[in-house]
Structure 1
Amino acid sequence: MSIWQGEHPLILASQSSARKTLLRNAGIAFEAIPADIDERSIQRDSGLTSPGEIAAMLAERKAAFVSLRHPGRYVVGADQTLALGSELFSKPAGRSAAAAQLAALAGKTHELHSAIAVACDGATLFSSVSVAHMTMRKLDDAAIDAYLDAAGDAVTTSVGAYQVEGLGVHLFELIEGDHFTILGLPLLPLLKFLRGEKMIAI
């Protein structure tokens, strides 16, 4: 028996393999339709500087963008912002940028702000932001190069140049926070919302 009770599958406004895996493992019927928006331009134009507010705003914009193109459907948008003090990080453009990010993060504790939003017909119905604290090991150039050699192009697909569900876990000495938050989809508040909407049976 499927636990999904919605009339239509949920739409995930993302192509993130980690987010898709989390929803699939939770038994949520969904289809992935990424939001074709210029995140960095929207962020600059917003004037926001708080990493949590930026993540929340982008998650809402993604959900709204896709929901307007799929009337009557529930769309979940998600965004993750990495902050080291007042400095914000984006996905690295290539290997050299990834190496620079890792060198900056090494030996320090940074924050991952993960936001989700659910929209229908362009209106936000629900939003939530969670934070995880990530303490990276001290890394010399040789350790960074070894990691980049092993991880390959995957380092450019995630902010901070790591994926803790893969080889990125080797970079850390302490992780404090919800597993789902770290993977970019705070799942527990999303499931609570969907239960309230009578979309899941458990």
Structure 2
Amino acid sequence: MTQRAVGPELILASTSRYRKKQLESWRIPFKSFPPKIDESKVKIDLSHLDPSSLCLELAKLKAQSIAQDHPHSLIIGSDQMALLDGQVLDKPGSADKAKRQLTLLSGKSHSLLTSLFVCYQDRSITFLEEVKVVFKNLSNQDIEDYLSWDQAWDCAGSYKYEHLGICLIQSVEGRDPSSILGLPLMALSEAIEKLTGLKPFTLFSPMDRGGPLV
């Protein structure tokens, strides 16, 4: 008889449907709760930090805000920033801003910084993954046609790599391409194993396969 592995409850501290979908791909049970932080205020308060440090701090604060109420669970926090020439590209929020961002990215290389903070009991692990993405030269028509399909207003850089956004890209360079989607799964696997002594596929038995519990 298959026994359920002895592992902690997993909680994703995120409202991102993209991160949630990534973790669902592992087909292991987890819960998802919105972080109890005001991200806009935090960014203002920590505006003195460089982008890498800010990205790491946001992931940490997200996870810790949930860990307070779930001290025996393994909590996953993550954040992502797009950088062009050292400047942060915020989520556009509108079609006009998305078009401007893609125009800036056309024919250039930019970086995606994706942070991960995983805590379990009194231990934690932090990662920062960087992926360099080079865009093809895009015409105004290319950009308009793409945005008519992928309305990427809520994505840093204004494109969805997992959808037709990949057609805008010439090359990708980095350790963990999954981080482009918002959650670095290779780093997460490593963190879970270090913190629990269990690989993700041994946390639960096959009979527990599924996705988010809430």
TM-score (norm. length: structure 1): 0.88
Check whether the contact 2:8–2:74 (CA below 8 A) recurs between aligned residues.
no
Provide the rounded CA distance (Å) in 2 between the counterparts of 1:182 and 1:7: 27
Aligned to 2:163: 166
How far the C-alpha of 1:69 sits from its partner, in A, is 2.7
Equivalent position of 1:29 in the other structure: 29
Residues in 2 aligned to 1:100 and 1:49: alpha-carbon distance in whole angstroms: 26
Instruction: Pick the structure with more helix per residue.
Output: 1
Alpha-carbon distance in 2 for matches of 1:18, 1:74: 20
How big is the shift at 1:156?
A: 1.4
Aligned in 2, Cα 1:11/1:141: closer, same or farther, shift over 3 Å?
same
Structure 1 residue matching 2:65: 3-state secondary structure: helix
Partners of 1:11 and 1:32 within 8 A in 2: yes
Q: Which runs of 4+ in 1 moved over 6 A?
A: none
Tell me the residue number matched to 1:190. 188
Report what 1:140 is aligned to: 139
Q: 1:13 to 1:162 in 2, by over 3 A?
A: same
Distance in 2 between residues matched to 1:35 and 1:112, nearest whole Å: 22
Task: Quote the offset at 1:84 in angstroms.
Answer: 0.6
| Matched position secondary structure for 1:148 | helix
Would the aligned equivalents of 1:4 and 1:29 in 2 still touch at CA under 8 Å?
no
Q: Which amino acid aligns with 2:157?
A: G
Hey, what does 1:6 align to over in structure 2? Answer: 7
- Aligned-partner Cα distance in 1 for 2:102–2:77: 27
Task: Give 1:1-202 correspondences, 5 Å limit.
Answer: 5-8=6-9, 10-120=10-120, 125-152=124-151, 155-177=152-174, 178-196=176-194, 197-200=196-199, 201=202
In 2: Cα distance, 1:145 partner to 1:65 partner: 39
Deviation at 1:160, TM superposition (A): 0.8
| Partner secondary structure for residue 194 of structure 1 | helix
Larger RCO, structure (CA 8 Å, separation 6 or more): 2
Give me the CA root mean square deviation: 2.1
Given that residues 54 and 81 in structure 1 are in contact (C-alpha distance below 8 angstroms), is that contact kept between their aligned partners in structure 2? no
Q: Is the Cα–Cα contact under 8 Å of residues 4 and 28 in structure 1 kept in the other structure?
A: no
CA separation in 1, counterparts of 2:146 and 2:49? 31
Question: How much does 1:193 deviate?
Answer: 2.1
Alpha-carbon distance, 1:31 to partner: 1.0
Question: Structure 1, residues 113-167: CA drift from partner, whole Å, max 9, x if none?
Answer: 111001357x661110010000111112211111111113xx1121111111101
The question of whether the paired residues in 2 share the 8 Å contact of 1:105 and 1:136 is answered with: yes
Residue 71 of structure 1, CA deviation: 3.0
From the superposition, tell whether residues 2 and 58 of structure 1 become closer, same or farther in structure 2 (CA, over 3 Å). Answer: farther
Gaps spanning 5+ residues in structure 1: where? none
Q: Percent identity?
A: 30
Q: 1:137 to 1:124 in 2, by over 3 A?
A: farther
Whole-angstrom distance in 1 between the partners of 2:112 and 2:92: 16
Residue 70 of structure 1 aligns to which amino acid in structure 2?
H
